[in-house]
Structure 1
Amino acid sequence: MTASLPRRPVFRPGVALHMEPREVDLTYRGGGCLIELDEATADQARDLLSALRLGGSTREELKSQYRDLEVETILGQLDAQGLLTDSPGAAPSGFTGGQAYRRARRRYLTTMAKAGEFYPRQLSERLFQGTAAQTELIGYAIEYYHVVAHCPRVLAPALAQADDHKSMMMLREFYQSEMNHDRMLIRSLSTLGIDPVKSALLPLPSTFAMMSSLGVLAATFPLGLKAALFVLEEPQPEFNESFVKNCKRLDLPDAFIAPIAQHSDVNEGESHDDISADLFDRIEYVSPEEMQEIEKAVSDMAEQLAAAGQEITDWYGAERRLRLRTP
């Protein structure tokens, strides 16, 4: 834990510190903690917390100054709550928004290249080989529906945390562009007698994980959300073309194929994958700590995407008859 603690710890922007004689209330983005003070060391504890509000002191300086406290333990507990970061002047280096986005893309490509080792049974490979089963194609449409239907809901919290007016408008336009796209998928599925609105369907675990991760990022780490969006919006023209060919090979009706192809064309035509790059272009500085968390968010989303490619094949392709996931 010691090695991972900030060298010059300071409370993150937005942490509220309310001190009482025997307790201190720390709040941050709807969370935080309540610290009960020991009478013998209460004054030092309050001084330490005040010093963390100002920042600038190293851990060693804090330990030397507050000898009656277990400073390292206190810092570890505060850091575990996500309340600490490094004082700005202590950051050894940083990144522009453009640099951060390019690092995020490289992490995405690296993760996807390695993901095949853990998820070798990909729907994309079966599409390219022309061996996908009809149930897998329908299953893909169902999972696609879940993503499109839930995307606006999980994005909404990010609108309240936009950095500036321009970024807020960019997020709002993206949000609005995603609204009602689920109707295209509903039209597609209805041609096969499937209505996910009237008869609720459950998403696969990986699909649920992707939407849940986006929701958590939107509410707690907007930078991570901005980076992860391109993972789901990345154009896949070869995949889409192969999907249509396999649908026609298996005599699925045009009314099923057309809305799915139309939605893919809309995403590509409106350059939805540019949303991450455009948002990061407006960011002047990304700290090394934030960069690490951004790369984690992108890796996580990429791994879930790869898992979805295999889960669709494993669940929907396991039987000749379509298996629906119902509550």
Structure 2
Amino acid sequence: MDLWTFQRYEQPCLCVDAVEHDSAAAAISLRSGTQTYRLAFDDDQAAAQIAAELAALRDSATPLWVTLRDSEPGSSWHVLGTFLDTHSLISEGRNGAAQQLARQAERIHDCVANTVAAAFQELSAEQRQLAARHAQTLLQGLYRAAAIGPLFEPAGDPFDAAVQPNFFLALLAAELECFRRSSPLTLAATEMLLEAVAAEERPASPLRQSLADAAGLYNERDLASHLWLVASALAMSTGADAARFATSPIPAPALVSGLEFMRQTELLTRETLDLWGENPYLTAINKLNGAYAPLVAGPFIEQYHVTARFVEIIAPLLSMRLADPLRAMMFRYYSEEYGHEALESTTCQALGVAEATLRKTLPLPLHFAFVDVLTLLAGLDPISSFAAIMVIEGIFGEPPKMSLRLMAAARQNQAFGHISGEHDELNETLNHNSISRDMFECIGAVSPARQAITMRRILFLLELNHRAWGGIADFYGHQDQLRLQGEFGTRLAPGG
């Protein structure tokens, strides 16, 4: 962290109730509320001069502030400025709070309007009507009271295909809960977006209060990414492929140990993935026959966005009062994952994507959602989160098929191959696809009800992951020259 100094104020101003000169004692008193600070001097002439100068400092426009701000550490002026600041007697004279809030609200309104216009421009009239009905349904659930027990249990769980058969509406229900927990500003903006799509005018809700609470608190680029996610998912909820995928049936639950539950979850995962077959991205990359194309770069660009937020998936578990072995493993997992986005950024640069461009891009919606849902599950239930690590790191014993295909397609780019291989080797060396088994080895029992809830969540995550890879194929697969996603679906050249 940077050390704060009084020289960082833009318009410093001495903020005291009174500057009093006591000529008999050759002293100055600074009064601020109930606090009084006395400065003693060797002679009264110096005290009188300093008292006058302190009085002048109550005006931020006085040239004396330039002297203080330009003073060198250790000088008398610097010592004085430091004393005043460390006793909270300097205020920032520049107060643009109202303008900051107004500009933030204007940016958010513009972002909502532009997002809706871009995301729905290609929908048919029938799809727009359906999207409006879906938006109305989501608005009704937006104002639910905070759940006392674990969210979504036991009824009304959107991860359960029997409860919500539309995959994208289930995803949006989870996203709204993410916003409620992590970004009230995004939740308020989402309310505005849903009202715009539903063509409804509602009374101002308490959610909008966050627009006037603070400026500069929440990440507005994340807000824009989330609004694009919400609008895209709402548009996709009107499509013919919005229905949840068929899955292998959840086994009849019985009370078992954690390790046995994980084994059954692995079997359910394998059977379900076999049922779905190859994901659209693998199908597309196989058609390249080893040639390089923008399609190859797509996963690394999107993985950068995932990796930059990856520790968020682990962080909720660090505050839980887990058993000592589980807690130790979670802290170790966090430390092993922290900072990996630097590797992903270097990989993207090897593929010709400038770092400045990478920072301007918005992640594809379903990849961004993947991190959100994993983070939500970590906060809801450690059992689900431990099992979900398998979806992230791969099933125990399975080779990294996707990485091998990508390496083959980009084998002519030696710099890329070296950097990408370094990340894969790191994960293999750290045994990350063993983590789920390691965690469940410590868990003596998992109830039948908890097993069913967790397996439904894993099936949802598997489908989200499958669809996210399909999103990469759709976005990058038709490109002759690499382009990245910018705001409102615009395309950015990799070099900027």
Gaps of 5+ in 2: 1-144, 158-252, 488-496
1:110 aligns with 2:271: yes
How much has 1:120 moved relative to structure 2? Answer: 5.1
Residues 96, 288 of structure 1: alpha-carbon distance in 2 compared, 3 angstrom cutoff: same
Match of 2:452 among 277, 288, 292: 292
For residue 32 of structure 1, give the secondary structure of its aligned residue in structure 2: coil
Letter in 1 for 2:381: F
Between 1 and 2, higher relative CO (CA 8 Å, sep ≥ 6) is seen in 1
Distance 1:196 1:154, change over 3 A: farther
- Aligned position for 2:309: 150
Query: For residues 177-206 of structure 1, what are the alpha-carbon distances to aligned partners after superposition, in whole Å with 9 as ceiling and x for unaligned?
Result: 011111111111123133268633222222
Q: 1:273 aligns with which of 433, 437, 445?
A: 433
For residues 153 and 440 of structure 2, the distance between their equivalents in structure 1, rounded to whole angstroms, comes to 29
Letter in 2 for 1:32: A
Superposed CA offset, 1:257-278 (max 9, x none): 3221111111112110111101
Output the CA distance in 1 between the equivalents of 2:260 and 2:301.
36
> What does residue 242 of structure 1 align with?
405
Q: Distance in 2 between matches of 1:129 and 1:186?
A: 25
Alignment-derived partner of residue 346 in structure 2: 187
Q: 1:7: which partner in 2?
A: none
Matched, 1:32 2:142: no
For residue 308 of structure 2, what is the amino acid of its counterpart? A
Within the alignment, does 1:159 sit opposite 2:318 as a pair? yes
1:49-198 paired onto structure 2 within 5 Å: 79-80=154-155, 93-116=254-277, 121-123=280-282, 126-127=285-286, 130=289, 133-191=292-350, 192-195=352-355
Give the C-alpha shift of residue 123 in structure 1: 2.7
Q: Kindly provide the CA deviation profile for residues 122-165 of structure 1, in whole angstroms up to 9, marking residues without a partner as x.
A: 33662486256521111111112122221102220011125211
Letter in 1 for 2:335: Q
Q: Distance in 1 between matches of 2:283 and 2:331?
A: 32
Instruction: Give the alignment partner of residue 303 of structure 1, picking from 455, 463, 482.
Output: 463
Q: Per-residue deviation at 1:311?
A: 1.6
> Is the CA contact 1:188–1:259 (under 8 Å) kept in the aligned structure 2?
yes
The answer to whether the Cα contact below 8 Å between 1:150 and 1:211 also exists between their aligned partners in 2 is yes
Which moved further from structure 2: 126-135 or 218-227?
126-135
Identity across the alignment (%) = 25
State the match for 1:322 in structure 2.
Answer: 482
Q: Which moved more, 1:177-186 or 1:156-165?
A: 156-165
Deviation of the 1:315 alpha carbon: 0.5
Q: TM-score, normalised by structure 2?
A: 0.45
Q: Residues 285 and 296 of structure 2 are in contact (CA less than 8 Å); yes or no, is this contact kept in structure 1?
A: no
Write the distance in 2 (CA, Å) between the matches of 1:105 and 1:112.
Answer: 11
Q: CA deviation at 1:309?
A: 2.3
CA contact (8 A) 1:223 1:294 kept: yes
Amino acid at match of 2:444: E
Measured at CA, do residues 113 and 132 of structure 1 come closer, stay the same or move farther in structure 2, by a change above 3 Å?
farther
Aligned AA (2:477) = G
Q: Deviations over 1:28-67 (max 9, x none)?
A: xx9436xxxxxxxxxxxxxxxxxxxxxxxxxxxxxxxxxx
Offset of residue 239 of structure 1: 3.0
Q: Distance in 2 between matches of 1:284 and 1:78?
A: 23
In structure 2, the CA distance between the partners of 1:271 and 1:288, relative to structure 1 (3 Å rule), is same
Runs of 4+ with deviation above 4 angstroms: 77-82
Cα contact 2:279–2:466 (8 A) shared by 1? no
Please give the alpha-carbon distance, in whole angstroms, between the structure 2 residues aligned to 1:80 and 1:174: 33
* Alignment match of 2:374 (pick from 186, 211, 214): 214
**CA distance in 1 between partners of 2:321 and 2:256 (Å):** 19
CA deviations over 1:167-226 (Å, ceiling 9, x no partner):
011011011101111111111112313326863322222212211111111111111010
* Alpha-carbon distance in 1 for matches of 2:355, 2:153: 48
- Superposed CA deviations along residues 66-114 of structure 1, whole A, max 9, x for unmatched, are xxxxxxxxxxx995489xxxxxxxxx94111011101111121122112
Q: 1: distance between equivalents of 2:390 and 2:318?
A: 17
Counterpart secondary structure, 1:153? helix
Could you tell me how far 1:232 is from its partner in structure 2? 1.4
